[in-house]
Every structure is written in structure tokens, then in C-alpha cells.
Amino acid sequence: MEKMPENLGTREGLEAALAAYLPPEGGHQERVIDAMRDAFLAGGKRVRPRLMERVYRACGGEGAEILPFMAAIEMIHTSSLIHDDLPAMDGDTLRRGRPTTWVTYGEDMAVLAGDGLMIYAFETAEKALDMGADPKRVARAMGVLARETGIYGMIGGQTADVYWTGKPLTEELLTFIYENKTGALVRACAKIGAIMAGAGEELISAAVRMADCVGFAFQIRDDILDITADEATLGKNVGSDERNQKTTYVSLHGLKAAQEAVEAYSRQALDLLGSFPGDTGELEAMVRRLATREK
């Protein structure tokens, strides 16, 4: 079994490990590959691959076979950002402190780059088999990746978000959007990490519940930052929720209640870490940091 890179715990080590799975430059499809690579390498918090890795370790995983799935989940996340920024969606022009993909490469290449990353993610995840991973675990993990990306996950949540923009939302519908648009990939990280580590069903369930709490806290914190942060700090356009007439947790409940909800969901996530057999120190620190982040 291949070992994890020794420097994976550093920002530089994680970036290098993820970038190694990107398609090489060149070829007749060079333009779309350039757009894919540019969007992926633009930075970001890398919350999802880091969460997957830490759940994997906390569930007893030790090998490097989790790396293709870590890269795959970040490819899918980047794909969703490219599409989310399009004029047909949010129409944002700034992402991670840089012009968005459609601004730099055009709407046509942005659509293709988003599609390309999403499909290439599954080609990447399959590489875990070449690293000696258990085929049954890989198959199950790829099924989770597909479901949580698709119409019963991220795309389903995004569909509801787009369709209901500018219309009043019920609490139930807002919860559905949060559980899927943002929460689905966070949930996938925890479930895949546990599955690839060989965890039992009870531990997998605990990992999913923990991730659901993290996903809600993360999205509500995003809502808060959209109205409290400035563009220089956040690295993207602010005020887009209000501009696009989107109902958010903040608009429904107010800023104070939103912050209290972030704290409550974070506490629930921390409580669930007691179910994990391995060292959860890094996971705990991550949950606390996400609850108080400023960008």
C-alpha cells in the first residue's frame, strides 16, 4: 500500500498532491484544459479534500488511496463554482480574488471547463484502484460521489436555489437547498473518507451526521460573510445574495440568530467526533476554524 506524502499536512504539500491529478497541458483541447487548470489552481480553502483526509485518518485509514478521491471532490467543487459564477446563474465576476472563469475564457469555455472538471473527477477517483485500494470500497465511494454530485445532491440543491431565486422560500425549502447545494459535497467527503478507511456502518453514519452539521454551519457562515465581509478580504463579490434576491438563513432569522446557529451546528459536529476511533484533534480544530472564518 502506498504511503501518504509526508508533507500532506502542509498547504504546499496538499496543493502539490491535488495538482498532480490535473490533466496535462496541451493538445487540441488545450483551451478548455487551461481553463480547468486555471480555476482549480486559483487557490481556495480546500475544505473538502482536507475534511475527507481527516475523516479517513480518524477512521483508521493510513494509505494514499484516498488521494484520488480528495482531488476528485475538489474538481467537482471547482466545477460548481465555475458554473455558479456564470451570467445565467449568479453573474459574479470575482472569485478567489481573480476574474471568474467566464470573464477570462468566455461563457462557452466556462461551461465546458465546468463540465470537463466534473467528468474528469470520476476518471481521477478510479485511479484509487491502481494504488491497490479495495475494489468494493472504491465502487461504493464512487457511487457516493456520483449521488452527492447529481440531482439528489449538489445539482438538485442548485436547481432549487436557481428556480426559487427572487421568490419567497419556506424554512423547509431553504433547508433542502442547504442540505444539497453545499452540504452534499461535505457529506460526500465524510462518507467517502470513512468508507475508504474500512469503517463499519455505525461509524459511517456518525461521520455523515457530523458532516451534515459542518455543512450547515459552513453555509450559514457564508450567508453571514456575504453581508459583513468586504471583497478584498473575501476574494469574491459580496452582496450577491441581496442583489439576486435570494432568501438566506440571515434574511429569514437575522444576523444574531444566524451566528448562534453556526455555533450550535459546530457544537453538534464536535460532539459527534467522540465516535471516531482515531485521533480527531485536526478534525476538531478544523470545525472550530470554519465556524469563525472571515473568508
Q: Is 136 exposed, middle or buried (0-12, 13-18, 19+ CB in 10 A)?
A: exposed
Q: How far apart are CA 23 and CA 90, in angstroms?
A: 28
Average pLDDT over residues 172-192: 96
Instruction: Give tens-digit pLDDT for 31-79.
Output: 999 999 999 999 889 999 999 999 999 999 999 999 999 999 999 999 9
Average pLDDT of the chain is 93
Percent of the chain whose predicted confidence (pLDDT) is above 70: 94
What pLDDT is stored for residue 236 in this prediction?
A: 58
Instruction: State the Cα–Cα distance between residues 119 and 111, nearest whole angstrom.
Output: 13
Rounded CA gap, 163 and 167, in Å? 8
Per-residue CA distances from 51 to 7, 8, 31, 42 (Å): 16, 13, 31, 19
Share of the chain above pLDDT 90, in %: 81
Mean pLDDT value of segment 92-110: 95
User: How far are the Cα atoms of 49, 52, 229 from residue 42, in angstroms, in the given order?
Assistant: 15, 20, 20
Amino acid letter at 115?
D
In a 10 Å sphere around its CB, with 0-12 CB exposed, 13-18 middle and 19+ buried, how is residue 18 labelled? Answer: buried
pLDDT for residue 277: 92
**pLDDT at residue 5, as a whole number:** 87
Summarize pLDDT for 199-216 with one digit per residue, the tens. 999 999 999 999 999 999
Residue of 149 and 226 predicted with greater confidence: 149
Task: Work out the number of other CB atoms within 10 angstroms of the CB of residue 268.
Answer: 17
Average pLDDT over residues 142-154: 98
Q: Are 36 and 22 in contact (CB under 8 A)?
A: yes
Q: Which pLDDT value is given to residue 128?
A: 98
pLDDT of 238 strictly over 70: no
Cell of 260: 448562534
Cell numbers representing residue 153 in the block: 445532491
More confident: 154 or 226:
154
**Residue 96: band (very low, low, confident or very high) from pLDDT cuts 50, 70, 90:** confident
pLDDT for 241 beyond 80:
no
Q: Which domains does the chain have, with CATH numbers?
A: 11-284 (1.10.600.10)
> What does the radius of gyration of the chain's CA atoms come to, in whole angstroms?
18
Residue whose entry in the numeric block shows the C-alpha cell 438566506? 248
pTM of the model: 0.92
83: nearest Cα among 190, 174, 157: 157
Whether the predicted pLDDT of 197 surpasses 70? yes
Q: How many Å apart are CA 55 and CA 282, to the nearest integer?
A: 9
For every residue of 38-75, DSSP letters joined together read HHHTT----HHHHHHHHHHHHTT--BGGGHHHHHHHHH
Does residue 263 carry a pLDDT above 80?
yes
